[in-house]
Amino acid sequence: MAKICSLSYIKRHVIKLTLFIVILCLVLEYLYIMEKFSGTFRVGKVSKDISESLLSSSLTVSTHENTSLLKSEESPIHFFPTQGFTNTHSILKKPTATVFPPAASSSNMHHSSKIYLNCSTWRKPLHNVSALSSQITLAPDRFLYPGLIWGPNNQVIGLFQSIYVAIRLNRTLVVPLFQTHNTQGKIQNVPDYQRIDVDHLCSFVSCISIEDFRKKCSGSMDVVFQAMPSKMRDVKKFQRDTQMHIIMKEEHKLSDNFVGNSLQISASENWLPSNQQVIRSTFNTTAPCALFANAFKPLTLTSMGQIAIPLDKNYTKVRQIKDDRLYMAIVDSVRRPECITQLADAYIDANIGTDEFVAVHWRYDKNDWLRVFRGLKKYELCEVVTNITPEDVARAIINNLPLLHDKNEMHSQNISAAVSVYIATPPSLKEFKLEIFNHLENLDPRIKRVSLDLDVYLSKSVFNKCWNSTGWVSLPDILSLIEMEIMRKSKYFFYSYESTWSENIRPLRWKRSEGKIQRLFEASILDLSKTVMKKRKKRN
Ligand SMILES: *[C@@H]1O[C@H](CO)[C@@H](O)[C@H](O)[C@H]1NC(C)=O
Ligand SMILES: *[C@@H]1O[C@H](CO)[C@@H](O)[C@H](O)[C@H]1NC(C)=O
Ligand SMILES: *[C@@H]1O[C@H](CO)[C@@H](O)[C@H](O)[C@H]1NC(C)=O
Ligand SMILES: *[C@@H]1O[C@H](CO)[C@@H](O)[C@H](O)[C@H]1NC(C)=O
Ligand SMILES: *[C@@H]1O[C@H](CO)[C@@H](O)[C@H](O)[C@H]1NC(C)=O
Ligand SMILES: *[C@@H]1O[C@H](CO)[C@@H](O)[C@H](O)[C@H]1NC(C)=O
Ligand SMILES: *[C@@H]1O[C@H](CO)[C@@H](O)[C@H](O)[C@H]1NC(C)=O
Ligand SMILES: *[C@@H]1O[C@H](CO)[C@@H](O)[C@H](O)[C@H]1NC(C)=O
Ligand SMILES: [Mg+2]
């Protein structure tokens, strides 16, 4: 691993990169010449100004499109948008405010301490989601299928973004398939009810199941909306998932290369402004059955630094809801399944016994986590993560836990009582976690580790037979989902910066206090540990 952090490693990569760029330029030059001669192969120009490019680029809609629900076998497939543009202000804002104006809506906590022992909440409800009445009603004859990608929490973010696009385009949301994490070996599909509370989502926004989608669209999709440049391979996966056909009239254009004349954006770039006019003109088609391919983070909207709050019950004019506000209601609408929240409650009751506990997410498993970073950023993060010891992490927690220092916090607590700490890490960091616990307990005798591992607890739990008998695909998924709920319910949360797992919990951690909505305590464990590590190195 030290090799990854070394500068010579970076230098080698810079040389490789330079070579690559030179070759790429030559290829592009060649293509450009080809285009001049043949006029068929288009490489879209990258525009610096979004609004300008949107106004000037007439996004092509084929005149042959068939908008009837029963489509003819010849209906061609269209890709939207057909030209790319970049966004120059996609830099994420740092979280700042912690107090928000009150909203007159239901509590954010699923407070049901009731434990069902009969597996009823584990079974897929025979839901007829289209029959649920939802807060936001969308057109019942147009649909958007979210084509989700990558890890479980990337899929959740992709779902947030798909819901937003579905609402702004006024298309009923198809509740999609999810998939397991690639660290679990072969990627398997995961049905909706094993990842999210489907009823909760569909009481917020109109949805239908994949089965109903297939029926209503007569087994085929009309149009592909690209969230990212889409390859034939990606589209084929979504065809298999939905068991629906996408008729490829121009199949030769969709080899396993990026779609010939499609988006000129890089993967995971936030290129799509949230403005509803822009979204409607970008994906301007009346074709009923749409695939939103490779949904991750195309939108400039993000949940970072925000709080997820449902809409007031009396909201009617959806078009007037501000983009950020709508997005926060969307984040609130995507929750873990009810059986998962119940199991988290049961675990907390049995092993912690109070809501006033500390939760820590340490994501920094170098092999998996560092994979997504490149260049100097990777080098810097690698340096930091490699140099931080379990003792640094323990000191960071103790130095920054208000409960141990803040007089007001102490007053509301029993100072001599134990403070329970739960630590969530990827399985590969189990040793690191145990060492943090040892240091925590040595440094402050009030600290008490939550020692019964969740997997051990689960293996003995009565629920064991529930997920076994109701077709749950992945036990690691169950563990991860329950841990997310434990983090959400904690009073003090030390989260991992640059982790979508942490990112998807933070907006849900708030409480109502004196008529105001207040974020629960949170702090970046990497930043705090880095400070401790730097001080230690200075002393030595
Ligand atoms: C669309 O498809 C339907 C059913 O196949 C057909 O009746 C109709 O004529 C088509 N419309 C157009 C504009 O091609
Ligand atoms: C919705 O209800 C809240 C209070 O519950 C009120 O402040 C707000 O004005 C209402 N909005 C509309 C559009 O009626
Ligand atoms: C399981 O428990 C729930 C909640 O107590 C109840 O509504 C449901 O009818 C029970 N199902 C069976 C099959 O006993
Ligand atoms: C689902 O609900 C819709 C709308 O209420 C209804 O038309 C349809 O028959 C229902 N389907 C099933 C299988 O219950
Ligand atoms: C969507 O369109 C339907 C008509 O098909 C309309 O009743 C509804 O208000 C629209 N919803 C939104 C959110 O625009
Ligand atoms: C969609 O395209 C049609 C026809 O080209 C055009 O009249 C309409 O204004 C467009 N709508 C949007 C929202 O851009
Ligand atoms: C405070 O906690 C200690 C240790 O758990 C316990 O012995 C003591 O009774 C508690 N005091 C109060 C006032 O709750
Ligand atoms: C789970 O189900 C399989 C068969 O589907 C069975 O072989 C196994 O013993 C079950 N495990 C538990 C813990 O119930
Ligand atoms: Mg991830």
**CA–centroid distance for 314 within its chain:** 28
Domains 45-87+141-335 and 339-539 share a fold: yes
The pLDDT tens digits of the residues spanning 147-180 come to 999 999 999 999 999 999 999 999 999 999 999 9
Using DSSP bridges, classify how beta strands 516-519 and 510-513 pair: parallel, antiparallel or unpaired. Answer: antiparallel
Q: Phi/psi of residue 78, each to 5°?
A: -115, 145
Report CA(492)–ligand 7 centroid distance (Å): 21
> What gap in Å lies between CA 337 and CA 483, rounded to an integer?
13
Lowest model confidence (mean pLDDT) among 144-153, 365-374, 408-417: 408-417
45-87+141-335 CATH pick, 3.30.950, 3.40.50, 1.20.950, 3.40.91 = 3.40.50
Burial class (CB in 10 A: 0-12, 13-18, 19+), 273: buried
Report CA(421)–ligand 7 centroid distance (Å): 18
* DSSP, res 312: P
Q: What is the mean pLDDT of residues 427-451?
A: 94
Q: What is the pLDDT of residue 234?
A: 86
The pLDDT tens digits of the residues spanning 86-145 come to 333 322 222 222 222 222 233 333 334 445 456 888 876 667 788 889 999 999 999 999
Among all bound ligands, the one having the nearest atom to the CA of 133 is: 4
Q: What does pLDDT average to over the chain?
A: 79
> What gap in Å lies between CA 437 and CA 28, rounded to an integer?
55
The pLDDT tens digits of the residues spanning 178-215 come to 999 988 889 999 999 999 999 999 999 999 999 999 99
Higher-pLDDT residue of 447 and 104 is: 447
Q: What is the pLDDT of residue 226?
A: 86
Q: What is the pLDDT of residue 405?
A: 80
- Asked if residues 365 and 195 have their Cβ atoms less than 8 Å apart, the reply is no
Pocket test for ligand 7, best of 416, 419, 446 (most atoms within 8 A of CB): 416
First and final C-alpha spacing in the chain = 24
- Counting other chains too, the contacts that 528-534 makes at CB distance below 8 Å and 24 or more residues apart are 528/396, 528/397, 528/399, 528/400, 528/494, 529/388, 529/392, 529/393, 529/396, 530/384, 530/388, 531/396, 532/388, 532/392, 532/393, 532/395, 532/396, 532/399, 533/384, 533/387, 533/388, 533/389, 533/392
Higher-pLDDT residue of 254 and 376 is: 376
Higher-pLDDT residue of 387 and 114 is: 387
Q: What is the mean pLDDT of residues 327-334?
A: 98
Higher-pLDDT residue of 404 and 68 is: 404
> What gap in Å lies between CA 78 and CA 26, rounded to an integer?
30
For 202-314, strand residue ranges (E) read 207-208, 220-221, 223-226, 245-246, 289-295
Pocket test for ligand 1, best of 71, 72, 285 (most atoms within 8 A of CB): 72
Q: What percent of the chain has pLDDT over 90?
A: 55
Q: What is the mean pLDDT of residues 365-369?
A: 86
Report CA(72)–ligand 1 centroid distance (Å): 6
339-539 CATH pick, 3.40.1350, 3.40.50, 3.30.40, 3.30.70 = 3.40.50
Write the residue with the smallest CA distance to atom 9 of ligand 2.
314
Enumerate residues 6+ apart whose C-beta is below 8 A from 525: 360, 361, 362, 393, 396, 397, 494, 495, 496, 497
Closest among 534, 520, 490, 454 to 360, alpha carbons compared: 490
Q: Is the pLDDT of residue 420 over 90?
A: yes
Domain chopping of the chain, boundaries: 2-41, 45-87+141-335, 339-539
Closest among 331, 280, 284 to 305, alpha carbons compared: 331
Lowest model confidence (mean pLDDT) among 68-77, 254-263, 410-419, 473-482: 68-77
Closest among 287, 196, 201, 293 to 242, alpha carbons compared: 293
Kindly state the tokens that stand for 133.
Answer: 């009445």
Using DSSP bridges, classify how beta strands 358-361 and 447-449 pair: parallel, antiparallel or unpaired. Answer: unpaired
> What gap in Å lies between CA 66 and CA 59, rounded to an integer?
17
Tell me the residues surrounding ligand 9 (ion) with CB < 5 Å: 151, 500
Beta bridge mates, 173: 144, 207
Q: Is the pLDDT of residue 370 over 80?
A: yes
Helix (H, G, I), strand (E, B) or coil at 140: coil
Pocket test for ligand 3, best of 113, 115, 118, 123 (most atoms within 8 A of CB): 118
Closest among 264, 351, 304 to 500, alpha carbons compared: 304
Beta bridge mates, 208: 174
DSSP for 15-59, please give it.
HHHHHHHHHHHHHHHHHHHHHHHHS----PPPPS-HHHHHHH---
320 lines ligand 2 (CB under 6 A): no
The pLDDT tens digits of the residues spanning 3-54 come to 557 655 556 666 677 777 777 766 665 555 433 332 222 222 222 222 222 2
> What gap in Å lies between CA 394 and CA 138, rounded to an integer?
49
Lowest model confidence (mean pLDDT) among 156-165, 172-181, 224-233, 311-320: 224-233
Q: Is the pLDDT of residue 414 over 90?
A: no
Among all bound ligands, the one having the nearest atom to the CA of 417 is: 7
> What gap in Å lies between CA 148 and CA 155, rounded to an integer?
5
Residue 308: pLDDT band (50, 70, 90) is very high
Kindly state the tokens that stand for 412.
Answer: 């509301």
> What gap in Å lies between CA 371 and CA 369, rounded to an integer?
5
Kindly state the tokens that stand for 74.
Answer: 């010849």
Q: What is the pLDDT of residue 68?
A: 34
C-alpha dihedral sign at 393, 398, 399, 400: positive
C-alpha dihedral sign at 188, 430, 376, 271: positive
Report CA(169)–ligand 5 centroid distance (Å): 9
Distances (CA, A) of 502 to 199, 315, 473, 509: 24, 30, 23, 11
Report CA(284)–ligand 6 centroid distance (Å): 6
Q: Is the pLDDT of residue 227 over 80?
A: yes
Q: What is the mean pLDDT of residues 373-398?
A: 94
Kindly state the tokens that stand for 17.
Answer: 């990169």
The pLDDT tens digits of the residues spanning 488-536 come to 999 999 999 999 999 999 999 999 989 999 999 999 999 999 999 999 9
Q: What is the pLDDT of residue 451?
A: 85
pTM: 0.79
